[in-house]
Each structure stands twice: as structure tokens, then as C-alpha cells.
Structure 1
Amino acid sequence: MYIIPRRRDVLVLTAWLAPVVWEGTFSRDILNAHYMQKNLVTGVVTFAVKKYVQFIEGFMSSANKYFLTGHQVNLYLFTENPEQISHLHMAPENHLFVIPVQNHSWWQDISMSHMDIISRYICSQFQYEVAYLYSIDIDVQLFEHIGAEIIDTLVGTIISWQYTARCESKSYETRTESQAAIPKGEGDFYYTASFYRGSVAKVCKLTRACFKGVMKDRENGIEARCRDESHLNKYLLYHKPTRLLSPEYYWDEELSQPCIIQVKRMCSVHKDSKK
């Protein structure tokens, strides 16, 4: 209803009729007006543990400026040392909640526990406070506005290299002994786990299913090729997203930029670029 497919150089509609959002395929004014009337609160979950605390200020300042500007946003920051978080100036419509999280010995354990933590907090807190929930990696910065065009029931973000010369093959888990295995020849797009979202009910189901798969793999002595991202792709294969975001919404700066990428709204920050 609100998508205006003016682009002819990219895919704007999936085989299951879900819109793929690119610059030039929507009217932000129309969408903002629509969602402003609903007076919805949106939640953003991000994790800053160990060395990733260095990215907090850059992420928060850019999200505060560009993410759903004018809409009510609750930012939930999980960190192992909440007392070390300095005061961050937030826009009037934004609220920051700093939540302590357990310190794991290995970063892989931290990464794989994200899904479990999110699902548990949805049940205990988030479902009472927000209508939609977004999970975004802390080591990113926003450079352009990300608005109401991203709001839908279940949304996946297509990974950057899908539209570059590096699109040699999808990184699906193929080992049948893994719960994340995707049969050969199946799969629609490859989605990044760095930015996914939906209604709180849908995100709860997604995170629970993915964490269950992670733990089942661990019991069987196997780790999926891309850990929780592999399980995310397995889930979205059989639970189709109602909206897809193009790589404009999470671009890898290490890749050369093809002409179809007209704007880079959010980009990863190189881990070695900050000490």
C-alpha cells in the first residue's frame, strides 16, 4: 500500500509478494504520517560487552540522530559494566535503558546468548513497553535517516555481498547434522543477523527458535557455520519476512559500492579502526 516501486534496476518484490525496500521505492512522509497516528513505541536492542563498549557513543549518537526520528524509541543497551556507561544525551522522544548482562569468557558465547536474552526480556519487559523490536549490532554507525519504511511484522535485511561481485555463493549452513542446515538448492536471500526486526510477538518466536537450534547443535557437538546468523537464515526460509530491507540498510564498508546502492544508511565500523 505504501511502497512506490519506482526502481527498475533492482528487485522490489519477492516471489511471496513481500516488498524489498530501496531508496526510491517509498514515500517517507506518507509512512511517517501513518505511523505517527498510531503513536507506537519501538524498541532497539543492542549489546556492548568486552571491547565492544568502545562503539557505544558512536552508535548511540548516530541512532539518536537518524533512527526513526520523531517516533518514540526505547533503546535497550545490554552491557556487563553498566556503571561505566557515561551520560548520553538523547532526543526527547528517545529513552535509554542500560541493562546488566552476564560476562562470558568467550565472545562466541556472548554472541550465541543474544537470542536467549532477547526472548527472555520480551516476556518479562519488552512486550509491555514496545510494539516493534529491532536488534542492531553495536559496531555500526548510521549516516542517513532510517524511518517508518522499515516497520513491518517480520523484517530481514539482505546482506551486503548479495549484490556485489562477491556473491559467489550463499553462506548457508549445509551440514545436515546442524539444526541450521538449509537443503541444497533452497534459500531465497542471505540475511544478516546484524539487523533484524518485527513485532514483539514475531521477534519472540524467532529468537526462541534460533536459540533452541543453537543449543541443540551444542548438545550434538556442532556449531553452525555462521552461528546465530545461520539459524536466523534457516528460520526466515520457512517463516518468510513480510518486508525485506536492501543492503542500503546495513552496508559493509570493506566492499566496493555498486551503482545500485544509491545511499548507505547504516554501515559497519571496522574493528581495527578503534582501539
Structure 2
Amino acid sequence: MQKETYERCSRRKCFYLLLCVVALFLLSFCWYSVRGTALHSHMAIFCDPQTRTRTSEDAFRLELLKDVSFERTRTRASENSSQLELLKDVFLERMLYEKPDTLKPPRTDVLMMTPWFAPIVWDGSYNIDILNAQFHQRHIRIGLTVFAIKKYTVFVKTFIETAEKFFMVGHKVNYYVFTDRVKEMPNITLVDGRQLVVLEVPSYKRWQEVSMRRMEMIRDHSLKRFINEVDYLVCVDVDMRFTDEVGVEILSDVFGTLHPGYFRAPRERFTYERRKASAAYIPPDEGDFYYAGGYFGGTVEEVYMLTSFCHSEMMTDKGNNIEAIWHDESYLNKYFLYHKPTKILSPEYLWDNNMGVPEVLKRRRFIAVPKNHNAIRNR
């Protein structure tokens, strides 16, 4: 009996001893694991705490970026694939025209290409039939903007009637007329695919203010309306009339027009803003051409960027009580100096008959209407 009791106690002791050994082993393992990690972390932080932290964070960010980048790439690829599937081949009908000769340029009396490979559009430099065929297949829509503020409403009728004869004939056109006198807008019958859109805007006491606010209004309506209605914008003065064809040859990402008074002048005669305090300032040793403020355009996106820049710079100057020498035209020239236009229109597209007719001017497509500036501007 005593022997059995003794053996039972021995087995119990062994069992408890084994439990203690196992417990000690587990505790030792845990302690060394925690201690080893802490020691390793302490050493890494001591050597280069920033590297350690950044490496960990950057790795995590990179993993996220990889996922996001992959998703974006996959989304773009999917979108581009869908867009590519919608693309149609541009196929031109059979046409008969004179073969272009690589050794005989159509004009040698004028500059036809800028140093940045932007064409300058002169009569004889293009075939309108080929261009029309290309643009018709794209189903483009063109917006033509003018400002008829105060007495300038008297020019709207002539402007639109002559545009119906010569401007973008055969293409879809929206005439956007900004005015403070909606009731004075003429009732004109337009051909199919063309419409007159009257946009009521506030008036301003000074004609200079009206001139400069054009950039702001075009910018705002580009964002809210034009982007949804047209593909290209052509922004011109209303006190003009079309006298010859103006078509899709003028269209490009962003285009400007050579000022008729300065297209033959040297750089030092350009009437850029020369005051360094102005945001429109252009140094005397810079400048390609002098562009007219009354004729520019491009895609809605590009016109939005152009007008945003000009308006922003105007507001900067206004805050400093500065008014550029030629108002919005000064800022337009600053923009085109550092954001080169992709196409330039020759003075054929903007002319005043009081300046005579130089030999290089084969056509006069858009000319100023004779008027008394003081009588019109101040009423």
C-alpha cells in the first residue's frame, strides 16, 4: 500500500516537473523573441532612424502606388481600347487637283512657316477642298464669338449677314453674341446647321474695361457652355465684315493673327508692354510677331487656357493699379510669346482698307467697317 502511494506521488511530481520545464521553455522562447526584436529595432533606429522609417513607409506606399498605377493603366488601356474601336478611317473621295511640287513652293514672297513649324496661312498655301473633306468627316462644330456692348450692337447685322456668305460655309456654326442690349439684336434667318446664341452680360463705363473683360467672359463660358456645344472657337471683333472666304484652313489647336499694322515691322517697333512692373511685360530683345487682339482661337480647351492666363495676369496688374498699354492685346502677345501658336493667320484675315493694299495681300477676307471710334466707344 505504501509502495503504491509512493509510486503515485513520484508520477505526480514528474508530471508537475514536466509542466514546469515546458512552461519555462515557452517563457524563454517568448522572452528571447521579444528581446531580439527590440534589440534589432533599437540598433536600426540608432543607426538611421529616418531611413528605417522611410523605407518601411515608402515600401508601403510603393505597393499602394503599384496597385493604383496598375488600376489606372488598366482603366486607361480599357478606355483607349474603346476609343480606338470607335475610330473611323478618314477616306477622301477621288479629287482632281494640281500636283504639289516639292521644289516649287506656292509662295516665295512671304514667310510661310515659323521656326517652331507652325504654318502661316496665306492665299495659295492650302487646298480648301481637301481640308473641307477632312473636316466634314470629323463633323466639327465651330463657335464664333463677338462682343456687342453698348453702341457696338449696330455692327451685329452686317457681321452675321456677311459671315453667312463667307465664314465656314457648309459647316455647323454657332454665333455667340455677348451683349448688354439683348432687345437690340437683329432677327436674321440663318442656314441649316447654324444658330445665333445671344449671351447677356453686364456693361462697363470704359471701353478699355469692356475690352479686357472679354477674356474673362470667354473663359467662363468656355467652361460652362462652349465645351459642350462646339469643337473650335474663333474670337473676333464685331465691328468688321467678311468680304472673302474664311474656312477650316484657319483651325488649329491655338492660332493667332498677324496685326495688319506690324506684320512688316521690326521687333523694336512692336507696341508690346515695356513696363517691367506689368505682368504683360515683354523684354526688348524678345518677341516673334505682333498679334492682333481682335482675332484668335483654337480648340475650346486651348482657348480656355489662353483666356484664363490673360484674365489672371490682368487681375494681377489691376491689383497693382497697372493697365497694360493695349489692354487684352498686350496679354495675348505675352501668352503667344511663351505658348507658341500652332498656326498663324496672315493679315488677309484681318485688314483695314485705310492702310492701302500691299502687293503681298492677294485677298482681303475680313475687313474693318469704317466708323467714328470715339462716337461708338463712349456711348
Separation in 1, partners of 2:343, 2:336? 11
Instruction: Tell me which of 268, 272, 275 is aligned to 2:368.
Output: 268
Question: Map of 1:237-256 to 2, 5 A cutoff?
Answer: 237-256=337-356
- Quickly say closer, same or farther: Cα 1:166–1:138, change in 2 above 3 A: farther
Does 2:181 align with 1:105? no
Secondary structure at the counterpart of residue 36 of structure 1: helix
* CA contact 1:164–1:258 (8 Å) conserved in 2: no
Instruction: Tell me which of 308, 317, 323 is aligned to 1:223.
Output: 323
Secondary structure at the counterpart of residue 187 of structure 1: coil
TM-score w.r.t. structure 2 length?
0.69
Unmatched runs of 5 consecutive residues or more in structure 2: 1-99
The structure carrying a bigger helix percent of its residues is: 2
Unmatched runs of 5 consecutive residues or more in structure 1: none
Separation in 1, partners of 2:264, 2:113? 19
Per the alignment, residue 257 of structure 1 pairs with 357
Q: Could you report, residue by residue, the CA deviation over 1:191-225 in whole angstroms, capped at 9, with x for unpaired residues?
A: 00101000000000000100111111111111111
Give the % identical residues.
40
Does 2:156 align with 1:56? yes
Separation in 2, partners of 1:233, 1:163? 14
Structure 1 window deviating more from structure 2 (254-263 vs 231-240): it is: 254-263
Q: Output the aligned Cα RMSD.
A: 1.7
* CA contact 1:154–1:199 (8 Å) conserved in 2: yes
* CA contact 2:267–2:287 (8 Å) conserved in 1: no
Runs of 4+ with >6 A deviation: 165-168
Secondary structure at the counterpart of residue 160 of structure 1: coil
Question: Map of 1:59-208 to 2, 5 A cutoff?
Answer: 59-164=159-264, 169-208=269-308
Deviation, 1:165, is 7.2
Separation in 1, partners of 2:263, 2:335? 22
State the one-letter code of the partner of 1:105. Answer: K
Per the alignment, residue 26 of structure 1 pairs with 126
Instruction: Say which one has the larger Rg.
Output: 2
Deviation, 1:115, is 0.3
Separation in 2, partners of 1:185, 1:165? 14
The structure carrying a bigger strand percent of its residues is: 1
Separation in 2, partners of 1:114, 1:165? 27
State the one-letter code of the partner of 1:235. Answer: Y
Deviation, 1:72, is 0.4
Separation in 1, partners of 2:111, 2:191? 35
* CA contact 2:256–2:292 (8 Å) conserved in 1: yes
Deviation, 1:175, is 0.7
